[in-house]
Amino acid sequence: MKHPIFVLLLLCSLPVFAQDNWPRQMPVAGGGKIIIYQPQPESLEGDKVHARAAVSVTQNASAEPVFGVIWCDAWLETDKNSRTAALTNIKVTDAKFPEDKADDAQIAKLKALLEKEVPGWHIVISLDELTTTLQQEVQDKDAPLNNAPPDIIYRDGPSLLVVLDGSPVIKDDKQVKMKRVMNSPFLIVEDGKKYYLYAGKYWYASSEVLSGWTYVSSLPSKIRQLDEQMKKQQASAQQGTTDKDQGFSSPPAIIVATKPTELIQSKGAATYAVVQGTDLLYCNNSNDDIFRDVNSQKVYVLLGGRWFSAASLNGPWEYVAADKLPAEFAKIPEGSPKDGVLSSVAGTDAAKEAVMDAQIPQTAKVDRKKATTTVTYDGAPKFEPIEGTSLSVAVNTSTTVLKDATGYYAVENGVWFQSANPTGPWAPATERPKDVSKIPPSNQAYNVKYVYIYDSTPEYVYMGYTPGYTGCYVYGPTLVYGTGYPYVPWIGTMYYPRPVTWGFGMHYNPWTGFSFSIGFSTGIFSFGMTFGGFGGWWGPAYYRPPYRPFYGPMYGRGPVVIDNRHINNININNNLYNRQNNVVTRDVNRGALGNRGGGVQNPNLANRPGAGGGGIQNRPGAGGGGVRNPNLTREAPRANVPNNVFGDRDGNVFQRDNNGGWNQRQNHSWQPASQNHQAQMNRDWQSRNRSFNRSQTSRQFNRGGGGGGRFRR
């Protein structure tokens, strides 16, 4: 018997407004209801997500439900600080009700009605739902990153690595009003015949920059005045927070490095404990990720997402690919003290989720009439060619400025600008330069290939950037930090650093991405007095990674709480769009997806008329709102049924019973599913369950940084 499903939907007379719990229930006149189960994302292209969802339709209170699957496209508006994404301008692309065997005309009417109603829903999902359920389709095309090991120094006492980008460059600094070592993120100044180093809450003195640093408690007058400024700066940064300093309780020894170097350390001679269920030992008196493989007796250390091994902690070290590690690493249990390394072990769920998370952009809309930027050069603009491309890059500015045959492009805080002149005026770009995707990682401009232009209207350009812009790169089956290449800084009357990979003990966690190690505590860098930002040491001028949030299990249970307080990141918001005027994030209201015209397929284009199809001239309202239903005024309640119904790619519907078994909807009843179907559904169920656990943990974790943030106009 055929059920006129579309007739049931036409009875929907009550407004609905979707909410963030699954499944969701839409009331139908006469006591019926439509239940929509948690969406199952299938693919992500730029900021466009394609997903399916199981649905059930009940005509009235006594009728049998009819189950089916709908497919939708939506635009993703992300807030990576809160780990949430809004699905906006939803478009239903297909629907199947296999048990009803509805004819094409009925399905067409069903789709038409859903297309009318669905765009009015406001659906917010957690990014953890997205990363754990999205089927990974990332191509493992490794860019030629530099994986040569840095100098790895081991110490068994409190030590701090002070990084210099080459030999000391000492110049007058107008802000501190004395000579300063410009090519270091640390504050090193010259007063008389001595140099003074500020490292968090401690001052050191030495007669030379590269060695001989000793802690000093008595400061000369100029340094004392500077110290007062630094303390005020730190107090201001900590105001209104509950953050605790993770830094040293006593002055650490200072090690100065002028080439790529990493410091690993233990509290006294290294001691080891067993990693449960494996043949691995981990160094239990170190905050670094140090392991010993019992079988080979080799030592392994994880730095910046890359593994290195040696016969002892004193080296020599060699690079080990994530998929070439001993099999024991993949057996590290989630919830154990060192499970944080699982994101860097090929084949683990944590690694797959990290790779997928790196594909999700932070999105924004840019006002075409108001947004602009200013580029400052040290002298006349100077450009050098980028190997393998038709582009050149400016070398004497802190802004990434590219030149091609059509003009000039600048990237500032995740926004593309264009101009006919290297000095401006600058306006938002509607397309990227042609060869930007060909920029090699050996070039300082490599990170801007991860800033995208998705779409445009006469009023706005829709842009976004993925974590590659801030130095987090997919490398085969895992993530790494930095390209590994030592870029050449600009040294003139000004000093402009370039992104560095080594020297800061970068660790990955699923909430804030890569973050500093414990040695780089709050206040360790004194950027408020330099460069007008963070200088460019980690990519964009106004970006710095957050501090490592805590040391303990990352998966399987909630974050570690110390002294009843979470370790947060002091006053840092890493949504770079909040640094840019006339740019709005998570406040985007665009026209229908059907009028987009192919912007996602070619990230260089922004739907100019004739570019890829529809173009902006076909967009309803040119700025949004045309498809929204103004009558939708209240939320649909969460359905009082388990979130245990799934749809597969063929439109079949399955339900998980209380015993963990699977049944398929056939002939208006649940019947045992085949073994092949059960295997796939078990994987889908595990992904959904994992997404719930990660989302819960993420909400418990009171973060202060990591890529998203508040709105700003």
pLDDT digits (tens, 9 = 90+) for 484-538: 999 999 999 899 999 999 999 898 988 778 888 755 544 455 444 443 445 688 8
pLDDT of the residue at 628: 31
128, pLDDT greater than 60 = yes
Q: In 86-125, where does DSSP find H-type helix?
A: 104-117
384, pLDDT greater than 50 = yes
Is 544 inside any structural domain?
Answer: no
CB 293 within 8 Å of CB 282: no
Is 653 inside any structural domain?
Answer: yes
pTM (2 d.p.): 0.77
CA torsion through residues 580, 582, 588, 594, sign: negative
Per-residue confidence band for 396, with pLDDT thresholds at 50, 70 and 90: very high
pLDDT of the residue at 554: 65
**Side chain identity, residue 203:** W
Mean pLDDT lowest for which of 158-167, 196-205, 568-577, 650-659?
568-577
**Domain encompassing residue 691:** 5-138+635-700
166, pLDDT greater than 90 = yes
- As for how many domains the chain has, the answer is 1
Cα separation, 147 vs 519, in Å, equals: 23
Identify the residue whose tokens are 């700003």: 712
CB within 8 A of 428, min separation 6: which ones? 366, 367, 368, 371, 415, 416, 417, 418, 461
CA-closest candidate to residue 701, choices 573, 567, 572, 574: 567
Mean pLDDT lowest for which of 74-78, 273-277, 287-291, 310-314?
74-78
CB within 8 A of 46, min separation 6: which ones? 361, 452, 454, 464, 599, 600, 603
Per-residue confidence band for 413, with pLDDT thresholds at 50, 70 and 90: very high
DSSP state letter for 554 = -
Is 599 inside any structural domain?
Answer: no
pLDDT of the residue at 601: 33
pLDDT of the residue at 386: 97
pLDDT of the residue at 279: 97
Element (H, E) at 696: helix 675-700
Q: Which one is predicted more confidently, 557 or 198?
A: 198
- Give mean pLDDT, residues 99-105: 63
Is 355 inside any structural domain?
Answer: no
Element (H, E) at 650: none
CA-closest candidate to residue 581, choices 708, 332, 412: 412
Is 666 inside any structural domain?
Answer: yes
DSSP state letter for 41 = E
Is 673 inside any structural domain?
Answer: yes
Tell me the percentage of the chain whose pLDDT exceeds 70. Answer: 72
Is 672 inside any structural domain?
Answer: yes
pLDDT of the residue at 114: 60
CA angle 199, 501, 328 (to 5 degrees): 105
Mean pLDDT lowest for which of 226-240, 530-544, 622-636?
622-636
Per-residue confidence band for 686, with pLDDT thresholds at 50, 70 and 90: confident
